[in-house]
């Protein structure tokens, strides 16, 4: 199982006909350090299929996805304290080792980028995370950046799944098959939604 790079992933197509390149570009917008990302919360132990199914049931569907959607909702209403609450709740739902990896990746991302001029929400949250007043999980920072760039929710989710797959050492085919198609599924309107970018 070879590790994928963002440029290799951009060359591959999702079986449903939608362009994986759009998801790759969205992931690079949300995390310009994508190629340097290590394992976050997806641990591949044994077969890829069973690892992804277990991760989706235990962490992504139960904790990570709802957290990202909550952050997006609060971003539009300007709720920094509410976002910190979501971040803390995610902290309590993740196993300790995975929580540490997620916080480390999130802090590297938010600490390595200056928010665009005029985005007070991201600047305030960055200050909170760097001061230790909020955990700064990768999923939360990813959701904030996806809201900043007005990415549709399914593209945000696909871009996050791609980050997890790359961090877990999966190749582009496995990311596409097990994470993007396997978790997001094949919706008839998915290509149209992704084409918005």
pLDDT digits (tens, 9 = 90+) for 66-109: 999 999 999 989 888 999 999 999 999 999 999 999 999 999 99
Name the residue with tokens 């199982």.
1
Within-domain flag for 61: yes
pLDDT higher at 39 or 9: 39
Within-domain flag for 39: no
Residue 7 has pLDDT above 60, yes or no: no
- How many angstroms separate the Cα of 177 from the Cα of each of 13, 126, 161, 184? 10, 34, 11, 10
- 108-165 pLDDT per residue, tens: 999 998 878 778 889 999 999 999 999 999 999 999 999 999 999 999 999 999 999 9
Burial class for 191, CB neighbours closer than 10 Å (0-12, 13-18, 19+): middle
Within-domain flag for 67: yes
Within-domain flag for 168: yes
- Which range marks the domain in which residue 144 is found? 6-32+47-194
pLDDT higher at 60 or 15: 60
- 162-190 pLDDT per residue, tens: 999 999 999 999 999 999 999 988 543 34
Q: How much is the pLDDT for 196?
A: 30
Within-domain flag for 20: yes
- Which domain CATH number covers 146? 1.10.4190
Within-domain flag for 42: no
Residue 6 has pLDDT above 80, yes or no: no
What total of structural domains would you count in the chain? 1
Within-domain flag for 134: yes
Q: How much is the pLDDT for 21?
A: 85
pLDDT band at 3 (very low <50, low <70, confident <90, very high): low
pLDDT higher at 24 or 187: 24
What pTM value is reported for the model? Answer: 0.85
């Amino acid at each position: 199982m070879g590790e994928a790079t963002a440029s290799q992933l951009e060359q591959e197509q999702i079986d449903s006909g939608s362009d994986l390149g759009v998801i790759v570009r969205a992931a690079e917008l949300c995390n310009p350090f994508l190629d340097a990302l290590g394992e976050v919360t997806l641990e591949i132990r044994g077969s890829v299929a069973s690892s992804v199914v277990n991760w989706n049931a235990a962490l992504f569907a139960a904790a990570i996805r709802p957290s990202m959607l909550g952050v997006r909702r609060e971003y539009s209403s300007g709720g920094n304290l509410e976002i910190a609450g979501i971040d803390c709740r995610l902290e309590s739902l993740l196993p300790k080792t995975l929580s540490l990896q997620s916080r480390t990746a999130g802090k590297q991302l938010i600490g390595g980028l200056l928010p665009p001029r005029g985005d007070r929400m991201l600047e305030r949250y960055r200050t909170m995370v760097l001061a230790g007043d909020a955990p700064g999980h990768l999923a939360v920072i990813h959701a904030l950046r996806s809201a900043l760039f007005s990415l549709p929710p399914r593209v945000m989710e696909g871009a996050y799944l791609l980050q997890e797959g790359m961090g877990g050492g999966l190749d582009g085919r496995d990311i596409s098959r097990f994470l993007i198609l396997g978790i997001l599924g094949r919706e008839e309107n998915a290509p149209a939604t992704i084409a918005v970018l």
